[in-house]
A and B are shown apart, each in its own frame.
Chain A
Amino acid sequence: GAVVSQHPSWVICKSGTSVKIECRSLDFQATTMFWYRQFPKQSLMLMATSNEGSKATYEQGVEKDKFLINHASLTLSTLTVTSAHPEDSSFYICSARDSSLSWGREASQPQHFGDGTRLSIL
């Protein structure tokens, strides 16, 4: 089945540092990937839609300069949390769908999720 690999799985760092999270689709191509944020015992909140070769689309209230997204290839998207602070501590999850399918089939496909990154800012 389709696999999404997310790295690292756990990060602990000091306030003010920048942290990069990678999301890779291992056995399919994804022109679009999605980044979610999840607080403890809460739902997934969509942060942004990452588009290969173009700018990401951010949800309302998400700071573009804070959460930098780069989707440089059909299998890799990165999320960089810049100048991280304790309030950025959260569980970040990426997701993707197989974009090699026709749009009708692609639309009905489930999103495949990475295992998430636990970010802790001290």
Chain B
Amino acid sequence: AQSVAQPEDQVNVAEGNPLTVKCTYSVSGNPYLFWYVQYPNRGLQFLLKYITGDNLVKGSYGFEAEFNKSQTSFHLKKPSALVSDSALYFCAVRDIPSEAGTALIFGKGTTLSVSS
């Protein structure tokens, strides 16, 4: 079965510093990988995805992620953190990507806290 792991429950960074939120995956075939952000009492907002192509994927709000096949990782990054980036971040993998209609499987989430 497909799965993703987010090893950190919380990441703390100072505003203006680079941030990294880690994600590793386990899939049987080619992974379809996604990052989402969730603000309190809200649904999830899509940030970026990796399907194929360039390993460095750029997304919304200045975020980017690097796909590393050898390390089975898809870490989320941002060069300069903002206080408004503080939220809950989820990495997700598409289960059985060759089949339409199947749901995303989520990691446990990482709380990002950016201090001013």
A-to-B contact residues, CB < 8 Å: 4, 6, 31-32, 34, 41-44, 46, 49, 51, 91, 93, 95, 99, 103, 106-108, 110-116, 118
Contacts and interface: CB of A to CB of B under 8 A. Distances in A.
A25 B97 CA distance: 22
A93 B43 contact: yes
9 smallest beta-carbon distances between A and B, as pairs: A113-B43, A103-B100, A110-B46, A32-B101, A113-B44, A108-B51, A43-B108, A115-B43, A34-B103
Given A93-B43, A112-B46, A107 B99 contact: yes
Contact of A44 (B41, B102, B106): B106
Given A49-B103, A93-B43, A113-B44, A107 B109 contact: no
B57 interface: no
B11 to A, nearest CB: 14
Nearest to A108: B51
Contacts of B22: none
Interface of B: 32, 34, 36, 41-46, 49, 51, 88, 90, 94, 97-109, 111
Contacts of A116: 41-43
19 contacts: A4-B43, A43-B106, A43-B107, A44-B106, A93-B43, A93-B44, A95-B43, A95-B44, A99-B100, A106-B100, A106-B101, A107-B97, A107-B99, A108-B51, A108-B94, A111-B104, A116-B42, A116-B43, A118-B41
A19 B97 CA distance: 33
Given A46-B103, A93-B43, A93-B44, A107 B108 contact: no
